Structure formats: structure tokens, C-alpha cells
Amino acid sequence: MSSDLTTGIHDLSFATGEYVLPHTALAAYNGTDIGKYHTGIGQRSMSVPAADEDIVTMAAAAAAPIVARHGAERIRTVVFATESSVDQAKSAGVYVHSLLQLPSACRVVELKQACYAATAALQLAIGLVRRDPSQQVLVIASDVSKYDLDSPGEATQGAAAVAMLIGADPALVRIEEPSGLFTADVMDFWRPNYRETALVDGQQSIAAYLQAVEGTWKDYAEQGGRPPQEFAAFCYHQPFTKMAYKAHRHLLNYCGQATDEDAVERAVKHTTAYNSVIGNSYTASVYLALAALLDQAGDQTGGQDGGLDGRSVGFLSYGSGSVAEFFAGTVVPGYRRHLRTAAHRAAIDRRTPLTYAEYRELHQRSFPADGGDHPTPAQTTGPFRLAALRGHKRLYDTR
């Protein structure tokens, strides 16, 4: 293996749900001042999956354009990261493998650790590629964020999938060493097997996140990482977009750097565009932040001066419970030629707005557990749909 081999993100694509609930509709229902959502947490709307959509259909929709562009011959591993798993034994990635007709000579696994797991998948993929640079790894992060109706977490819900092709000599982002790591046993957010919705201690979760920011950066610095001033931008996990601002302010303060609003805005502002209208997508969130950063910096009408060619980007991946990692990436010169900006914006714009009553009906929908024949209403206009649950088996269709 060549000592100068670079590995990282060669392609990135995302998909989201069929429907969208504007936060104005939620505010009108519960009497909340819209400023609490738009300004307080930085959210404007949330994606809502159709009755025939789930983490598998979103994942396949996100990954299909990557397979179409690059082919599947070199994909020998699929790593599916989620905390919305549809089965306790079978990886959701196996369904995606079938829907995309990937080669049978392929390993498929599912990883779980709250919102962090996609970064574990990325690091696993990099290790596999370094062992054999001729292969590529398909990493998929797909989640549906779901809290109890009328709970404080309801306004942060969302749904999306991000697919990334990891390989040698990447076209988008070269992932650097080292990583800063942190784990602490806290109960800030969790979902027992017997619950369909997550439980969260909001204040403790924010405190645990900020503790992880300190812990990962401390380890990153001790491992010889870059100083904060070398980064052009920072992609944070965004349970709500204002958390990215809070986290970066905390990091700058911890590092003894100036925490003025301009410094925070420059580092974070281009990373929040997609999360602010999709909502929390758990494992996909930090990579939606990357997609937004690359797409906006590549937009000649509103991007950063000079773009991101050759610039360093920091990543803070946090998963409640808690596990976190800070690492760096260098944006590959010429990355704009490989972006999917128009497709990403189309995925957001295609969503059909819901009334609060329609959203509530979808939220309360669940499959009976009797093993009977339970077809789903044909609602999605996407390329894949969950057709039925029959004999305890999930059946998917390709359009």
C-alpha cells in the first residue's frame, strides 16, 4: 500500500421523505410563538415519511444515484448506520442491497450508536479501503426521528438518508488522521426496544453534547490534530441547527479563541441549510451538514469567496448515550464538478406540505404485530416503496 494513498468521500447523495410539516403549522396547533422554532432552535420545517416509506426506501433512494454514476463492481461492502432499525437481526442494508441489485460478493452490516454510527461506518470503510484500495465501500446513514406527540422533542423530528461512496483518491473530501474520541455513560436520549418513540432529557442532552465537544477536541489536540484557526468550516451533528452554533461557541471558548458572532457564523452558517428544513435525521445529520456546506460553497451566486478547494473542514459527530468523534477532512480541489446540488434541492422541494392533522395521522400509524397481510397505501412518488408487511416480512417494490 502506498504511503501517500488518500482515502475519503468520493461521492455523496441524500434523500428525504415524501411530506413536509412546516413549523408554522405546528406552532398554529400548539399556540407556540413561531420565533421559538425559527429563531430559538433554528428549524423551519420537518420531513415526514409517507406510509410506504421507511429507512430502507430513503436509503435506496439516496444510494441509487451513486450506483448509477459509478457502477457497483467495486462495492464489496455496504455499511448501514441507523438508530431506527426495522429488524433486530437483519440489516436494513440487505434490503437496500437487493433493491439496488448489488453484487452478491458483498458484505453488508448495520451499525448502531445513536446519531454517531455513520462516523463509525465511515472510519470502518476507510480501514477497508486502505487494506485494499481497489475496492469501494457504500456507507448509508438513514433515520426517522420520532418523538411523542405534544412532547418537547416533537419540533425537532425529521427524516433523511445520506449515502456516501468511500474510496481511494476521493473526489470530494479526503479524511485525515487523527481522530479525537470520547465516550461517557449518560442517559440523555434513548429508545428501549418496546417503544416506537425516543425518550430525551433535553437539558442533559445539551450538557452531554458540550461535554463531548470538549472531550473529543482534547483528545484530537493530544493526538496532534490541527489548531481551530486552520479550519474553513465545521460540520456538527445538528439535533436542531442552533445546537451547531452553541457547540462551536463552546469549542472556541474551550480553545481560548474569540467567540464573537461573526467567527461562529463564518464557521457554521453554510452547514445548516438542509437540516433546518429537514429536521433531525440522527445518523445522517452531520453529513447533511457537509452536503449543505459543499453545495452552498459551490453555488457561484451565494457561496464562500474562493470556495473550499484545498480547505480543511472539521467534523464533530455526536451520538447520545454517549459516543463522539472529532476529525478533519480536506476538500479536494475541483470538488464542484462532482456535486449533486440540483438533485439535493429537488429532493427538498418535491415534498408535499401536510396539515397538522394529516401529519398526526401519519405519526400514529403503525403496523399490527399479528403476522397478517398488511399492505401500505401508495403515497410516495419516490423510486422505492414499502409495499406491505406480510407474515412478519417486509416487502419492498421498485418503481
Which residues participate in catalysis according to the annotation? 83, 115, 237
Residue 398 is inside which H or E element, if any? Answer: strand 393-398
| Helix intervals (H) in the chain | 23-30, 34-35, 55-70, 92-99, 117-131, 202-222, 242-254, 261-268, 275-278, 285-297, 341-349, 356-363
Q: Which of 207, 214, 172 is nearest to 6 (CA)?
A: 172
Decide: 174 and 160 in contact? Cβ < 8 Å.
Answer: no
End-to-end Cα distance, the chain: 42
Q: CB count, 10 Å around CB of 29?
A: 15
Residue 50 phi, psi (nearest 5): -70, 170
| Helix intervals (H) in 307-397 | 341-349, 356-363
Q: How far apart are CA 275 and CA 287, in angstroms?
A: 10
Q: How far apart are CA 112 and CA 35, in angstroms?
A: 34
Question: Which residues, at least 6 apart from 35, have a Cβ–Cβ distance to it below 8 Å?
Answer: none
Q: How far apart are CA 107 and CA 170, in angstroms?
A: 22
